[in-house]
Amino acid sequence: MSPLSSLLRRSAPSDAEASQIASARTDPSAESPSAGSPPAEAPPRGGLVEIRGVHKSFGELEVLRGIDLTIAPGEVTAVLGPSGSGKSTLLRAINHLEPVSSGLISVDGEVIGYRRIGDRLHELREPEVLRQRTAIGMVFQSFNLFAHMTALENITEAPRRALGAPRREAEAHARELLALVGLSEKADAYPRQLSGGQQQRVAIARALALRPKVLLFDEPTSALDPELVEEVLAVIRSLARAGTTLVIVTHEISFARDVADTVVFMDQGRIVEQGPPAKVIDAPAHERTRTFLQRVRTGAAPASEDPAGSADPAADPAPGARTPPPTTPRTTPEDRS
Amino acid sequence: MTSSVVTHDSAGRPVAPGAAPGADAMSCPPGTAPSAAASPGERPGAADADGRADTRPAGRSSLGAVSDEELARLRVVPARHPGRIVLAVLVGLLAAAVLWSFVTNPRWEWGVVAQWFFAESIIRGLLETLKLTVLAGAVGFGLGLVLALMRLSPSSLISGVSWTFSWIFRSTPLLVQLLLWYNLGYLYERITLGIPLTDVTLVDSRTSDLMTPMLAAVLGLGLHQAAYAAELIRGGILSVDQGQLEAASALGIPARDRSLRIVLPQAMRAILPTAFNEIIGLVKGTSIVYVLAHAELFFTVQLIYGRTQQVLPMLLVATVWYVVITSLLSIGQYYIERHYSRGAVRTLPPTPLQRLRARFGRRPALAGGAA
């Protein structure tokens, strides 16, 4: 087993214990199994994410209009789409940061945010939602590191406060995670003393500290300078084969093609098409997907290569621009949908 | 003025004669050189401008023509500010004049000030003032924090209660509040605390026995302070980026830790300067308690000058003590603010003490003595 896999392993279930733990996870009173359990040789287990008929409205505006999606355990899913297509909202719905208006989302069969009794969905109280979230890590576009804490404190905060892990243990794990993202020497640095790329890598380590079954990335490189993007993508790439389920909202088309098992293209609150990258990115079936991909590619190429060159993608839909740009294809700097 | 601007605006315009090459190089910062070279490239006259740059090192030359020796020779001459010096002298003279009158005018009666400064009754009054400040400050900021959190509650009833509290206590004069608390016995003769519908009584006494001047003062000052503290703490909390809370809840951190460990420490940076303003105001604000005839510093001073008729020197005694307390608080404020600015700035500037040590540390002879 790779050292990475053992680092990310959520719990230490022997086969006999596995079912016990699975049932314990649905019991709110049970301690999270990851706290204090000794290391074992079981491979890390990704969570199964199921999304059924999810709608979400903000007032009049319906941002999600019936999303159905199944993400297999350990699979890497890239969600593409224009600004306002609802992809960030979908991601935030998975860990209940954004409660859905209707529909169901579950991780490993456990409904997120609600307890289903018969035909009724009883809203969970906050401590139970928080417990569910410890199994679902999230990395934000704007990093959101705790500004008054060092990198190490940022990483140990959640294990210590949410899972009650002892300080010594949390710090040891945090140092391993910092090494994993290549920032061992930055343990005592404050976020403001780090570059954007370094901050995002700390944020990834922070999300990993809870040994989540599912990791959500909300445009992890959109707030970064082009030359810092690759260091973050490299870290995500290294996680992709470690067994955790990854859901990545991104504008990095070439990265998505590289790393994703499934690419989902969203537009106006619906999934337009989904499938392996070879299909969705290289041979999209829908016109909407084609225009989006083309716009992202032609729009990004001049921005990263030649600042003086003609930068009007609408005026120049060059067929030669099929080759993906080496760095950041970005449409808009922000996509808060 | 600058040669680079001339090159930008019109390639054909002659440059002012007699411009020294050194001055030209100085006036064109290195960063502007590429744009100066690129911009004429879009115009027909570009070749012309470039050609002249080669033949004429002075005048419209681009920075490329500056030789290495020239660069090595260049020295920065700091700009002079004669107005600043004149102003500094004037302000210095004014300050000296004020100080001089303080020291030499016999009517200040510094001898009397010195005589009473450490007098036992004054020190007792001073301690009473400090006690009032600490108690009222604790009530004020403790309750203020609760009120601020209530105000941010999603329940409109809870936030409404907090709003109403602030509304009432900010809109009535402090003096009225103090007198109301002190005269509570007139409104409610007895105070009884017990469990309703049973015979259990925990407290039962005459209000006037309970309501000492001290209690009335702490309640009056504290509740008044709480109304203001609530608003300023709420302002600090609102100044913390929403993303911090979002990240904390995404990590499953419990609500209590989100407030106390994530949001409040960051809000402190916005809260502290105003909070110290309030506390310093409170130190001096305690003097209003003289209306309750409570023997704090100011009331003690009044008692003494009532007897001795040395009004101004006695007021000076109180004033100097207030200055001392305020100064100590200001020093405390500096270090506490510094503590909470961890992570908010890339590197903390050295403290005045550290700067002093660094200055003396440079001289080897003094280094041992300073440390």
Interface confidence, given as ipTM, is: 0.76
Spatial distance between the Cα atoms of B222 and B108, rounded to a whole number of angstroms: 35
Q: How far is A268 from chain B (nearest CA, A)?
A: 25
The answer to whether residue B349 is domain-embedded is no
Residues B139 and B68 in one domain: no
Domains identified in chain A, total number: 1
- Asked if A56 is an interface residue toward chain B (Cβ–Cβ < 8 A), one would say no
Give whole-number Cα distances, A301 to A197, A228, A329, in Å.
Answer: 21, 17, 7
Residues B8 and B150 in one domain: no
- Asked if A133 is an interface residue toward chain B (Cβ–Cβ < 8 A), one would say yes
- Asked if B250 is an interface residue toward chain A (Cβ–Cβ < 8 A), one would say yes
Residues B273 and B138 in one domain: yes
- Asked if B62 is an interface residue toward chain A (Cβ–Cβ < 8 A), one would say no
Domains identified in chain B, total number: 2
The answer to whether residue A148 is domain-embedded is yes
By Cβ distance, the residue of B241, B253, B255 closest to A157 is B253
Q: How far is B117 from chain A (nearest CA, A)?
A: 44
DSSP labels for B82-148?
Answer: HHHHHHHHHHHHHHHHHHHHHHH-GGG-HHHHHHHHT-HHHHHHHHHHHHHHHHHHHHHHHHHHHHH
**Which residues of chain B does A193 touch, with a Cβ-Cβ cutoff of 8 Å?**
346-347
The answer to whether residue B297 is domain-embedded is yes
The answer to whether residue B97 is domain-embedded is no
The answer to whether residue B86 is domain-embedded is no
- The pair of three-digit structure tokens given for residue B187, joined into one six-digit string: 């409104």
Residues B51 and B124 in one domain: no
CATH number at residue B259: 1.10.3720.10
The answer to whether residue A26 is domain-embedded is no
Q: Considering only alpha carbons, which residue of chain A is nearest residue B253?
A: A162
The boundaries of the domain holding residue A104 are 3-10+45-322
In our burial notation (b when 16+ CB lie closer than 10 A, e otherwise), range B274-287 reads bbbebbbebbbbbb
The answer to whether residue A15 is domain-embedded is no
CA B276 remoteness from chain centre: 7
B9-38 per-position pLDDT tens digit: 444 444 444 444 444 444 444 444 444 444
Spatial distance between the Cα atoms of B354 and B338, rounded to a whole number of angstroms: 13
Residues B161 and B293 in one domain: yes
Residues B65 and B214 in one domain: no
The answer to whether residue A27 is domain-embedded is no
Residues B159 and B32 in one domain: no
The answer to whether residue A50 is domain-embedded is yes
The boundaries of the domain holding residue B8 are 3-73
Residues B161 and B280 in one domain: yes
The answer to whether residue A333 is domain-embedded is no
The answer to whether residue A330 is domain-embedded is no
In tens digits, chain A (337 residues) has pLDDT values of 455 555 665 544 444 444 444 444 444 444 444 444 444 444 557 899 999 999 999 999 999 999 999 999 999 999 999 988 999 999 999 999 999 999 999 999 999 999 988 889 899 999 999 999 999 999 999 999 999 999 999 999 999 999 999 999 999 999 999 999 999 999 999 999 999 999 999 999 999 999 999 999 999 999 898 889 999 999 999 998 888 999 999 999 999 998 999 999 999 999 999 999 999 999 999 999 999 998 887 765 443 333 343 444 443 444 443 444 444 444 444 444 4
Residues B336 and B220 in one domain: yes
**Which residues of chain A does B344 touch, with a Cβ-Cβ cutoff of 8 Å?**
147-148, 192
The answer to whether residue B359 is domain-embedded is no
- Asked if A310 is an interface residue toward chain B (Cβ–Cβ < 8 A), one would say no
- Asked if A161 is an interface residue toward chain B (Cβ–Cβ < 8 A), one would say yes
DSSP labels for A302-328?
Answer: HHHH-TTS---TTT---GGGGSPPSS-
**Which residues of chain A does B254 touch, with a Cβ-Cβ cutoff of 8 Å?**
127, 130, 161-162
CATH number at residue A296: 3.40.50.300
The answer to whether residue A100 is domain-embedded is yes
Residue to substitute from B241, B251, B268, interface A, most A β-carbons within 10 A: B251
> What element of type H or E holds A59?
none
